[in-house]
């Protein structure tokens, strides 16, 4: 018998009517004979609302209580979907993270799943033909008995990890687009849906800003070999399309050098002026940031003539203030003349496995951006991608430019 995990994101469960529509998608699979576990997100906008309430209550809130608050959104939709399924005559029950249980680390707000106990869910399939409706995003840190959440977009990861735990044949991620596109279809209307995308490319796309899947869900799909599809919840439940399969590189026919363009406006740039150009300075700058758990992304160092240098790097916008405070405290040990920061920057990236075997791909991109008058503040490259940091105002122009340059626009 087929065993499936079906995940529905926030827009797909935004109100009771849409939850009823989701129930029809689930019923289709149950009628076809599958055992189904469903993972749901909170209704669109709910998690933002709950998070904002925490901030309003106290700017420096207790992360453990934040998790108790924001996990509430998924509790509501899990219960509602179970009700909607029962209404269609499909046996169903809800499972909260602590009930399954989905066990996690204690990194509140960004917890990692350590294990999922699938036995009771499987028993429900076997004994009662019962659909398990699992609240996404949330888990339990068993030693402390506290509720945790997996970080924004974490229901994707709940779904893939659950699919691995119950040994599902497939994990279907239903969302408000009908698959993974060459870039965000909301920004570039000519973006094309891909039939398939390689794990490595999807990992880069997700980590460079394409929020269609949470990065950790792609990692989990790769590690546990879960066939994962991204597809639309707005398809007719009786006649759905197949979406995009995340798969191994060898299983892809179409070969393009660049397969996708991603962008992130969630960036901040920090520049330290006149730092001594000598051994140990980079460590003095980046160690305190690392110790505080601040992720540094792009780094550019410009050597001056008098043994002094300027150092520019980026952190996520959310960590900007924290990074600035840490560096100001460490001013004496680092030794710099001034610190400047900018929040109005964006990172635009081109991704493709084909870059491994083609030279000059990034250079063409830089040229095309220059022709549009877009100034590049920093660059990073790896084997299968390059990223540029630019003024946020030029984000869309840069994405359009690269998308067209690499032949990704619809014909």
Binding site for ligand ADP (CB under 6 A): 9-12, 41, 153, 175-177, 180-181, 183-186, 205, 210-212, 260
Tell me the closest approach of the beta carbon of residue 155 to Mg ion, in angstroms: 7
Nearer to ligand ADP, 233 or 271 (CB): 233
Q: Using the rule CB under 6 A, which residue among 4, 5, 9, 297 binds ligand ASP? A: 9
User: Near Mg ion by CB under 5 A, which window of 4-12, 79-87, 184-192, 288-296?
Assistant: 4-12
Interaction between residue 154 and Mg ion (CB under 5 A): no
Tell me the closest approach of the beta carbon of residue 173 to ligand ASP, in angstroms: 10
Interaction between residue 153 and ligand ASP (CB under 6 A): yes
Site string for ligand ASP, 54-93 (x = CB under 6 A): -------------------x--------------------
How many residues does this entry show for the chain? Answer: 411
Ramachandran category for residue 351: left, alpha or beta (phi over 0 → left; psi -120 to 50 → alpha): beta
Tell me the closest approach of the beta carbon of residue 227 to Mg ion, in angstroms: 19
Helix (H, G, I), strand (E, B) or coil at 352: coil
8 Å CB contact between 366 and 378: no
Q: Between helices 395-405 and 361-371, what is the axis angle to 10°? A: 130
Q: What is the DSSP string of 123-159?
A: HHHHHH-PEEEEESSEEEETTTTEEEE--TTTHHHHH
Tell me the closest approach of the beta carbon of residue 175 to ligand ADP, in angstroms: 3
User: Near ligand ASP by CB under 6 A, which window of 39-47, 223-231, 363-371, 378-386?
Assistant: 39-47
Contacts of 46 (CB under 8 A, 6+ apart): 10, 73, 76
94 binds, among ligand ASP, Mg ion, ligand ADP, none (CB under 5 to 8 A by kind): none
Helix (H) or strand (E) holding 283: helix 281-291
97 binds, among Mg ion, ligand ADP, ligand ASP, none (CB under 5 to 8 A by kind): none
Instruction: Write phi, then psi, for 279 (nearest 5 degrees).
Output: -60, 145
∠ Cα 393 398 400 (to 5°): 120
Cα–Cα distance, 27 to 90 (Å, whole number) = 7
154 binds, among Mg ion, ligand ASP, ligand ADP, none (CB under 5 to 8 A by kind): ligand ASP
Q: Using the rule CB under 5 A, which residue among 73, 136, 139, 153 binds Mg ion? A: 153
- For residue 216, give the nearest of 199, 232, 229, 230 by alpha carbon: 199
Q: Which two tokens stand for residue 323?
A: 């990074």
Site size for ligand ASP (CB under 6 A) = 13
181 binds, among ligand ADP, ligand ASP, Mg ion, none (CB under 5 to 8 A by kind): ligand ADP
8 Å CB contact between 42 and 73: yes
- Give contact residues for Mg ion (rule: CB under 5 A): 9, 153
Residue ranges binding ligand ASP (CB under 6 A): 9-10, 41-42, 47, 73, 136-137, 152-156
């Amino acid at each position: 018998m087929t065993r499936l995990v079906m995940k529905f994101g926030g827009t797909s469960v935004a109100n009771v009517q849409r939850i009823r529509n989701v129930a029809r998608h689930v019923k289709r699979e149950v009628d076809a004979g599958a055992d189904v576990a469903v993972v749901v997100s909170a209704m669109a906008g709910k998690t933002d609302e709950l998070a904002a309430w925490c901030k309003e209550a106290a700017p420096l809130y207790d992360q453990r209580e934040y998790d108790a608050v924001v996990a509430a959104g998924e509790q509501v939709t899990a219960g509602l979907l179970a009700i909607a399924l029962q209404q269609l005559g499909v046996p169903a029950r809800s499972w909260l993270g602590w009930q399954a249980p989905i066990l996690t680390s204690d990194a509140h707000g960004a917890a990692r799943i350590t294990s999922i106990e699938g036995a009771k869910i499987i028993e429900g399939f076997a004994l009662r033909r019962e659909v398990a409706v699992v609240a996404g995003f949330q888990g339990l840190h068993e030693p402390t008995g506290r509720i945790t959440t997996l970080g924004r977009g974490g229901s994707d990861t709940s779904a893939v990890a659950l699919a691995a735990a119950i040994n599902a044949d497939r994990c279907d991620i239903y969302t408000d687009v009908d698959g993974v596109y060459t870039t965000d279809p909301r920004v570039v209307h000519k973006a094309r849906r891909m039939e398939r995308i390689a794990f490595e490319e999807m990992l880069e796309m997700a980590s460079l800003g394409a929020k269609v899947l949470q990065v950790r869900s792609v990692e989990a799909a790769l590690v546990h070999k879960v066939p994962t599809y991204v597809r639309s919840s707005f398809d007719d439940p009786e006649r759905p399309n197949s979406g995009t399969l995340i798969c191994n590189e060898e299983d892809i026919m179409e070969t393009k050098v660049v397969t996708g363009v991603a962008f992130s406006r969630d960036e901040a740039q920090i520049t330290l002026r006149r730092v001594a150009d000598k051994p140990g300075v980079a460590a003095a700058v980046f160690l305190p940031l690392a110790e505080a758990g601040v992720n540094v992304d792009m780094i550019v160092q410009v050597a001056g003539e008098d043994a002094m240098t300027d150092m520019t790097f980026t952190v996520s916008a959310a960590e900007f203030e924290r990074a600035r405070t840490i560096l100001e405290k460490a001013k004496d040990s680092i030794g710099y003349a001034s610190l400047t920061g900018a929040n109005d920057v964006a990172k635009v990236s081109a991704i493709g496995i084909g870059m491994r075997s083609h030279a000059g791909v990034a250079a063409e991109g830089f040229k095309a951006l220059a022709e549009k008058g877009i100034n590049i503040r920093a660059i990073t490259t790896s084997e299968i991608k390059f990223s540029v940091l630019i003024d946020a105002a030029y984000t869309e122009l840069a994405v359009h430019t690269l998308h067209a340059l690499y032949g990704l626009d619809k014909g």
